[in-house]
Amino acid sequence: MVTHEENITINRPIQEVFAYVSDFEKSTKWQSGLVEVKGISAGPLGVGSQFTGVRNFMGRRMEAVAKLTAFEQDKQFAYKTISGTAPFEQSWLFETVPGGTKVSTVFEMETSGLLGLAKPLIAAGLKRDMGADFATLKNQLENRVPDSAE
């Protein structure tokens, strides 16, 4: 298994940061390898909500369906894949801190079979990509210019 943790403080209110990060269809704006995300559940976001995602990672196109396993407005959410070639889980925590909002995430991916052979490369790629993505997220939220979709 590969595990990666990342955190950052964003100089914006927790409600704004949580709303942006939990709007999965906007994830392609700040996650470099994410090609597409679409919600597939009706109703408001909550435990059991499902979405599909397509990501390019290490030269491979990866598609998965994920389901929210935890959701607490303006505090935390978590999801895990329920289909796809690389099973993973990711949890997110949002905390009000001096200067804004601390965003923390823990990502865990099963690396059995052929993925197990690439474990060091996967770990290095996650560290590089998630660090860059969090910097992009911080920049976008702190220098936010609403787009036409908002």
* Tens-digit pLDDT profile for residues 16-72: 999 999 998 899 999 988 899 999 988 888 999 999 999 887 677 888 999 999 999
CA end-to-end distance (rounded Å), the chain:
38
Residues 6 and 123 sit within 8 Å (Cβ to Cβ) = no
Contacts of 109 (CB under 8 A, 6+ apart): 1, 2, 3, 86, 87, 88, 115, 122, 126
Domains of the chain, each with CATH number or no CATH: 2-142 (3.30.530.20)
Sign for the pseudo-dihedral over CA of 125, 20, 69, 92: positive
147 has pLDDT over 60: no
112-143 pLDDT tens trace: 666 666 667 777 777 888 889 999 999 999 99
pTM, two decimal places: 0.86
